[in-house]
Every structure is written in structure tokens, then in C-alpha cells.
Structure 1
């Protein structure tokens, strides 16, 4: 199978907003692939190569983008072999950078322009085809002629979409997949609601729990040995020794726990998310002590609990972890849920999770059994640039560079703007068309083109209302903060017009950080 086949399927999926059409395009691809190449294709489609870390970033790619090949010749097996070599070079010493550059140059030299673009975006985890994991799971089910629920369950239990696809398509061990302590499983996910009251209308009686602003951890204890995995199933056991020690002391035998770890300030309030995540970096320091709380129990003492109702899982969890249970209350009363929501925010957490008490533990598409509620902050910011889109957005200006006002000139001229993030979310087709027509009329400079990528930089006069979940410390932007989960609400035009001189300032955003973490 050629790489062009995968690129074509990805392009077809990106060009439509129909979930059914995306599933059909990918299912056709999977049916035509040799089973041993399906994991490779899925890794590329999701921007998560099956090899895991390849050590490739923008800096590496900047220096190795050769002229594209005139015709397609790359086989998928060639790409997989190159990724094997990239992964093998990670951490191999001072020569690893040269090795990665050589492997990448050789690979990209053989790739056409479209193939180069796809490979680069896949290696950077920036594919944006609309082929998210839920779509891929449905496509696997369609290609294999199996119920989607069975495929999702197998994916959850193996923790590996590529291996799930191989088993589903070949029948090799598919029906034997089960929960195995020591093998991480895909996490259950939550949909969203505007308020705890609205969430209870979806779930009915529920366990309403603090939504901690930390890093999700899945902990396995097998034969007394404790392992810790992130929500992406990366093994971080060596980086969380205090969590390993705590779980090692819990009563009982083998365990699989789902929880959240975070750092706390001296006042007991949650510290910024970035402080917790710094513990998981490649060069993590261990100055900040991690605390951990648990909200689910999937296995205990030889018994699988994923098919048991949450009410039972929660009760058995409390018996195992004691006061390390995430604070919460089981209720159908909106007033009680709203009260807990207020307590969570006062303690510096994100909000609450509202979980139906009869729900089982299931991964895959975000359903209605778990519903998260977080406050939404909105700010008026200025557009500094817009990047050319790709896939379905090819030819349109899409991803926005956003700036906050710098009234005192801390980062340049007084009254200027400092970049605080990007977003392509919340942009309708009408807005995309408008941006593409309007921004070139206020252009100050540009990089690249609509065909090759790049961005159009504009005069900082266009104000846009942005909704965010918060901010975090960042060394990427000079202001020291980055927006979290930014999305466009609306442009300030016409009756809602606002001059750039009245937009929100960098200090307003920095005030969302904990006092001791302001840059």
C-alpha cells in the first residue's frame, strides 16, 4: 500500500463535515490495507505514530524540507521503517540530531508535496483531518463488519487503536480481549454542559465531583508493583514516585485506579496546571510535590469492575483509597450540585464532573453518562495574524494568532499587543470566507502562500471575542501566559464593534494565574 492511498483517504475525510462520509472513506482505506500496515496508517491519521516518540519537532523539520518528489513512490512500509529509525534515535546521544535529520531528509525527498505536508503534520501531531479517534473506531468497525460498541470496548481494553484494528480485521484474538491489570486502558471521557443543573437534567441522579485542574493518571498495581500512565497511556512511573509510594500502601491486591494528580500551594489551593505538567517533561525537576486523588476503580482483588454501576465502583473505591477519593456528593438535587460547584471553584479547581450513578466505565465517543461543567471566561483580544488552512479549509485563512493589549509597553511599544495564543475553533464557513477576504486588505506582511502554508500578518485593529477555560504559564509567548481551550465567540463588528484600544490587557490575563506563578 502506498502512502498516497493514506493521504487521499485523509484528504477525503478532511473535505467533508459528515461523520458518516469520514467513516466511509477511512473504512475503505482499512479494508484495502494489509493487516500489519493498519496500525501504521492509523498512527499517521491521528498524528500519533505507532512508534511513540520520534524526537521530531519544528526545529528539526525546518532544516530538512527538501524539494518534493515529482511522482508518488513511497510505500507505507517505507514510512514505517523510517519512523522506526527516528524512534530508535531518541535519546541515543549527541549524534541523534544528525541521525534524525538524515532519516527525515531521505524520507521527505521521496515524498510528493501532498505527502510531505501530510507527514510533517502527522509527525507534529497537527493533522486536523476531523478523523478523531471516535471516527477511526467507527471506521474500524465498518471495515471489519463488527458492532461499533464491541470495537470501542476492545480499544479501551487494549489501549491501542492500531492493535484493535488488526484484531478486528483478522479476527485474531478479538473476542478474547479483556481487562488486564498492568496494561493501560483508554480513559472514559465526558461531554459538556453549561451548569450543574443542566448536567443533572442529562444524567439524572449522579455523583457530582470536583474536577481537579491537574494531570489524569491511571494507576496499576500488579503483584505489588505500581505503574502510572497518563491519559495518552504514556508510562510516567519514574516521574511520580510519591504517587507510586502512596498506591503501594493501599490495602488489597491488584488494582486499577483512575485519578488526577496536581500540585497544591501552601494554602491548599490548586496550583496552575502548568506547574503539575512540568513534572512530566523530559527534563522534569521535582521541586513541586504531587498530590493525587482518585475518582474510579476498574479492578480490585481479582474482580473487574468496569461493567459495574458507578455507585458500586465509588463505594469500593472509598474502601481502598480512603480520603484520597475526589470530593463529591451523590445527588439528584440541583441546589446541592450547584453548591459543590461553588466549593470546587473556591478551592481553585476547574469545576465539577457530573456522572450518572448507574453508568458503566466506557471509552470512545463522548457520551452523556459523564458531563463536565466549567466556567467560561470571555475576553476581547486582537487578531495579529491568520494562518492558511489545509484539508477542508485549504484556500481559507483559518488559525488565528491572538494578542492582548500591552498598555505600558512591557513587551514593546506602549499600547501595542503581545501574543497569547492561537485558535481555529468556533470558525464557521461564513467567518472563514470573511476572514479570507478581509485580512489581506489590512495585511502588513506574510509568510508562505495559500498553497504552501504560512500566515498573513495584519494590522492589530480587528477585535474578536474569545472564550477560554483559563490560562497557563508559557515560555512560548513573551507575555508568559497561554490561553487554554480558546475558541471564537464572535467578531466585534457592526453594533458590537470595539476599538483595539479598549481590548483586554496582558495583566488581565495574567491575573488568572495563581499569585505566586505570575511571570
Structure 2
């Protein structure tokens, strides 16, 4: 297939809002791919690279050569070029990578360059993410959507599933099975504003789990062989020896567990997320990063820590990568064999396979009962089974009082489903907001080209009368808001270049965020986690914005709770 045809499909998908229309366009493009192009083409249609990362950042994309006048690239040729760029390493690799990238862009037309920039920057905004691609693969291959979703759960890679469906149909999809040692796409949680809203989705009985800051882990054991994977299916095994030792000590032959890993302090309390994230990212033998700034974070909704862990029939679950979850009073500190005082400790909330028996299709309560029988209480996530709204709200209050971020509510009768944010698992946490001042904004790219997008956010410093930067965000901005803020910020501009527009600190914006963490990157020493725009507050002056003292007090209070 010509790459320009794929670029045209991407543009067409962007131009329409109807889900059915998007699926029709995507399915037609998938049918046009050669067998050896399906994996790359499916990835491009999902807005990502088959290789995920190839070492190319925005700086390398700024000086693209003029576009070619006529299209010559195929999907296969683009995939091969990107793979070659990603394989460069050693002395001179940066120059070779830049040369190869320049050659690829020189061969691309203007439309193709736009898609390449979007893929390399992660800014393809066509609304064709994994959920739509699953439906499109099913339509293109003439199979049931449920068959594609099931294969995706067991395989964990939509590109591989797409190739199987398009080349082998339903029979090939049925060939996917749970294999101990091969990670699965994890079940995820959607969000709700209140516990009542979560229960409206899950019904009763329901499990209410503490939600802490930890790293989502999926652990596979066969005999003495143990493998640990992240939410994104990256192999973490060598980085988490305490987790490996804890699972190897279980009295089982084969097991697949879903859970959290968290760093505890000497008293058994969980450390801040960025410490857990930094330790999970540390390769064997490398020094532990000191206060690494993990600004964005991602999240596993789970957690451990209610007194006594989980009992038979109880259950917990979650969603995230280097994410939310963790351990508290319920998991016995030091219970993970081979784990030092500052090592990652595992806490599990779901059981997918046990000694030759798959449990994916079993209802939650049965999986959780089997989990409680197979795993000691000190390694189980804390949870409460509830049958009334009052019980659930009490569990939520207890979670917050215990220093947790919130809870995740799960339907007790639901099977373990593919990585979709369905109504069976629903996360609830209090929303924190601050009124901050816009200090600057960066020009957008991809779909946001021509608009000021990424906002630099500052808190008022009462000591100096100035403003202290806390981080950046482009989340929560609608097209209408992007247009408005671009016009407004250009009116306030005091300095501008091709990348950033600095403005008079006058415009106040209400920002929602999940937490405050230590950050050496910013002058105030703290940064917001998961910041997103709620609304602009033109009714407020910059003098009424929240202060850096407010932010530091919030950080201190959160630290005391954990």
C-alpha cells in the first residue's frame, strides 16, 4: 500500500466524528494492506509506531526538508526506514539517525510528512485508538468483534491480532490462548466522580479497593521461572528481585497474578510514587535516582493496605503502568522474600491462571477467593466487599484517611476483560484544583498546529510578588478553548519565538490535578501530577491565584498521609 493512501485515511478519519464512519474508513485501509504491512499499518492507524520508540524527539523534527512532489513511499518502506533509525546506536548514532530521518522526510509528500510528524511525536489526533481499531479489524476480516477482543486480551498486541485476523480469520484468532510467560493486556478501570456513581455502574455486591501510588505488575510463574511485566507489557523482571522472590516462594506450579509493586519505608508505609517509579525504572546495578521527576506518571488503580489484607471472596483490581496502587497497613512489611527495606514489594489483587487452569472467565469473587487461597494475606491488596452505598462511602473515607488516593470499585460478578475502561471496574478519587497563572505557552503540532497549546503554569509567590512555575499541560483543551486561548495569549505576549510565546502573567486558569510531588526540574521544588485544564477564570486576577505556599502545604499534607 502507498503510504500516502494511509495518510489520506488518517486525514479522512480526523475529518468525521461518526464512529461508524471512522470504522468503515479504517477497515477499508486495513483490507488494502499487504500481509507484511499489516502490523505497521495497524499501528499507524492507531496513531503509533510499530517500534513504539525509535529515539527521535521534537528537536529532530523541526528542520524537516521540503516535501516531495509525488508519492513514492509504501507502508513497508516507511516501516523499514523507521526500524533502521531505531536500530542506530553507539558513536555517531545521532548523526546517522538524523541523516536517515532526513532521507525519509525528503521522500515524503506534505501529507505524508504530516502523518510522520504525528506518529513520531505521538500527536496523531484522529480519534482512531485501540477501541476503534478492534472494531475495524473485525469488520475488515469479517469476524466477530468479541473474537478480536478475546485474542487481544490473550496476546496483548493489537498489531499481531490484526495480522492474524486479516490473514487467517476466526480460526487464527481462536489459536490465541493464555500462555504462562506471555503478558496479557490488563483489565482497566474507568473513572467516576463519586462512589455513588461508581456503584451505579458496578451494582452490588462490589469490592472497594484502596488506590495508592505503585507500579502495575503482571507476574507469570512456571516452575522456578518468574517473569514480571508492566502495564505496557514491558519486561521488569530484572528490576524487581523482591517481586520475583515473593512469587517464587508461593506453593504453586504455575500462576499468573495481577497486582501492584510499591516501595515501603522502614515503618512499612508506602513511599511517594516517584520513588517507586524511579526504582522500577532502574536497571540492575544502576544507582537509585535521587528524587527523579516522574511528572506524568500513569496509573494502576489498585492498592494494598486495609487491615488484614483481603479475605476469601474479597477482590481488587486496577489499571496503570508505572502507576497507582500500593501497600499500607494490610500487607505485612518485609513479607516479600529477598526484598530490602527500600525494595519494591508486591501486592496482588487478581488471579488469572493457577496450575493449568485459566480463570479469566470466572466472576471476580471466584477469582479473588482462589487468589486468597494461593497467596498469603501479607501479599494481598486491601479491599472491602460492600452491599450498600453507606458501606462503600465508609470504605472510601477510610481509604482517604489512610493516605490513599481514593478507591476502585469493582463488580463482584465480572470476568477479567480485555484492557478496556469498562463499567466493571471504576476508580474514584477526590479532585484537587488550583487557580494558577499562565506564564507561557508552546505552539502545538499535529492536530494542534497553529494553536498555542502546552501551557506553562505558575503559582503566585507572595514573598517576591512573582510566580513560580509548577509544570506544563495541554490536557483538557477543546478545539474551542484552543482557539480562544491562542487569541488571548497572543494579546498578552511579551516575547515569542518559533516554539514558545511568553506572556504577561495575568490570565488565571483552573487546573485539576491528582497530586503534588517533589521535582528538581522546577524552581519551586514541586510539580503537579496529571494536571489538566478545567476552565479559565477571567473573573479572577493574578493576585487572587493560589500561592506556592498553598502548593507546598498540599504536598506536605500528602507526604504526612503516606
1:169 corresponds to: 166
Q: Are 2:488 and 1:438 equivalent residues in the alignment?
A: yes
Greater alpha carbon shift after TM alignment, 205-214 vs 469-478: 469-478
Match of 1:488 in 2: 533
Using a 3 Å threshold, how does the CA distance of structure 1 residues 309 and 248 change in structure 2: closer, same or farther?
Answer: same
State the shift of 1:141 in Å. 1.6
Paired residues for 1:102-501 under 5 Å: 102-171=99-168, 173-204=172-203, 205-281=205-281, 285-286=287-288, 288-323=342-377, 324-389=379-444, 393-409=448-464, 414-425=465-476, 427-448=477-498, 454-493=499-538, 497-501=539-543
- The Cα of 1:393 is off from its aligned counterpart by 4.6
* Separation of aligned partners in 2, 1:455 and 1:6: 32
- Distance apart, 1:147 and its partner CA: 1.9
Change (3 A) 1:147 1:71: same
Q: What does residue 292 of structure 2 align with?
A: none
Instruction: Tell me the distance in 1 between the aligned counterparts of 2:107 and 2:116.
Output: 12
Measure how far apart 1:251 and its partner are: 1.4
What is residue 87 of structure 1 aligned with on the other side? 86
CA distance in 2, matches of 1:322, 1:476: 41
Q: What is the CA distance between 1:119 and its match in structure 2?
A: 2.1
| Contact 1:406 1:418 (8 Å CA) reproduced | no
Question: How big is the shift at 1:516?
Answer: 11
**Residue 555 of structure 2 aligns to a residue in which SS?**
coil
The TM-score, its normalising length taken from structure 2, stands at 0.83
2:107, 2:554 → 1: CA distance? Answer: 48
Aligned-CA RMSD value: 2.5
How far does the alpha carbon of each residue in 1:206-241 deviate from its partner, in whole angstroms, 9 at most, with x for none?
A: 111112211111111123201111111111111111
Distance 1:357 1:319, change over 3 A: same
* Conserved 8 A contact 1:46-1:125: no
Q: 1:30: Cα distance to partner?
A: 1.0
TM-score by length of structure 1 reads 0.89
Describe the shift of the 1:35–1:480 C-alpha distance in structure 2 as closer, same or farther (beyond 3 A): farther
Q: CA deviation at 1:200?
A: 1.5
Quote how far apart the aligned CAs of 1:419 are.
Answer: 4.3
Displacement of 1:189: 1.0
TM superposition shift of 1:153: 1.3
Tell me the secondary structure at the aligned position of residue 27 of structure 2.
helix
396-405 or 316-325: bigger deviation: 396-405
Answer yes or no: is the 8 Å Cα contact 1:192–1:373 preserved in 2.
yes
8 A Cα contact 2:441 2:452, kept in partner: yes
* Residues 67 and 113, structure 2, Cα contact 8 Å, conserved in 1: yes
**1:31/1:463 Cα in 2 relative to 1: closer, same or farther (>3 Å)?**
same
SS of alignment partner, residue 171 of structure 1: helix
- Within 2, Cα distance between the matches of 1:6 and 1:511? 51
Query: Could you give the per-residue CA deviations for residues 74-106 of structure 1, whole angstroms, max 9, x where no partner exists?
Result: 2211221122223323xx433433332232222
Structure 1 residue 33: deviation in Å?
Answer: 1.2
**C-alpha displacement of 1:44:** 3.0
Contact 2:280 2:344 in 1 (8 A): no
Long gaps (5+) in structure 2: 290-341
